[in-house]
Amino acid sequence: MTFSVFMQIFVLGLLGPVIDQNFYYAGLKFTSPTFSCAMSNMLPAMTFVLAVICRMEKVHLKRVRCQAKVVGTLVTVAGAMLMTLYKGPIMDMAWSKHAQLQHANAPAAADSTDKDWLKGCIFLIIATLAWASLFILQAATLKKYDAPLSLTSLICFMGTLQATAVTLVMEHKPSVWRIGFDMNLLAAAYAVSLSLSLSLSLSLSLSLSLSSCSFSS
């Protein structure tokens, strides 16, 4: 392993397990689970744009496949901008009338909620951009370090060390390291065993396809 490959793995660990995960959960806190899942659909569009910028994929506008990619990217970005900048009227549900009455009597709280919503949208966009950048950099790293499973393990290990360092800097309470047999433990186990592992496996498959496309071009 060369120093350049090590630095690429260091950046991959920073992009995936650290930046993406932390910004995504911060955006989830300020918005909603439904909105966060919808914003995650920007990932293919961002990956396509970055692949074109990095010359990993060529766009031939005369081909129907490339036209569909461009149109899909534009529709995805437009939908994300619409969801970020526009909030429609509150739907009048029978079980939420009491909450809506309290919301109407607190305009200051509504302004604070709008600011948090915009902040959450920005966090989610940063998380999605970091994850798309991981795909591109991982495809470039696989050309120099042709060991996909070993690369995935190194990314997870490096991300664990970086996340630990970030937590030590940002959190000064010993209670944040305390894990009990509750929902926090279940959420952490799910995020590591299913969400992060599955995402890294899918990103590895996509990076292999991107690297093969760049080799063929």
> What is the structure's pLDDT at 31?
85
Quick check: is 34 in a domain? yes
Running DSSP on this structure, what letter comes out for residue 88?
-
Quick check: is 24 in a domain? yes
What tokens does 110 get?
């509504």
Give, for all 217 residues of the chain, the pLDDT tens digit: 788 999 999 999 999 889 988 898 899 888 888 888 888 888 888 888 888 888 888 888 888 888 888 888 888 888 877 776 666 666 565 555 554 545 554 455 555 666 788 888 899 999 999 989 998 898 888 888 888 878 888 888 898 899 889 888 888 888 777 777 777 777 777 766 665 555 656 566 655 555 555 544 5
Quick check: is 17 in a domain? yes
In angstroms, rounded to a whole number, what is the distance separating the alpha carbons of residues 119 and 112? Answer: 11
> What is the structure's pLDDT at 211?
55
Spatial CA neighbour of 137 closest among 2, 14, 1? 14
Per-residue b or e along 85-99, where b marks 16 or more CB atoms closer than 10 Å to that residue's CB: eeeeeeeeeeeeeee
Quick check: is 100 in a domain? no
Quick check: is 101 in a domain? no
In angstroms, rounded to a whole number, what is the distance separating the alpha carbons of residues 187 and 68? Answer: 38
> What is the structure's pLDDT at 23?
92
> What is the structure's pLDDT at 215?
44
> What is the structure's pLDDT at 123?
92
Q: Give the range of the structural domain holding residue 70, as residue numbers without chain letter.
A: 3-86+109-216
> What is the structure's pLDDT at 199?
60
> What is the structure's pLDDT at 9?
92
Looking at the structure of the chain, the number of domains it has is 1
Quick check: is 102 in a domain? no
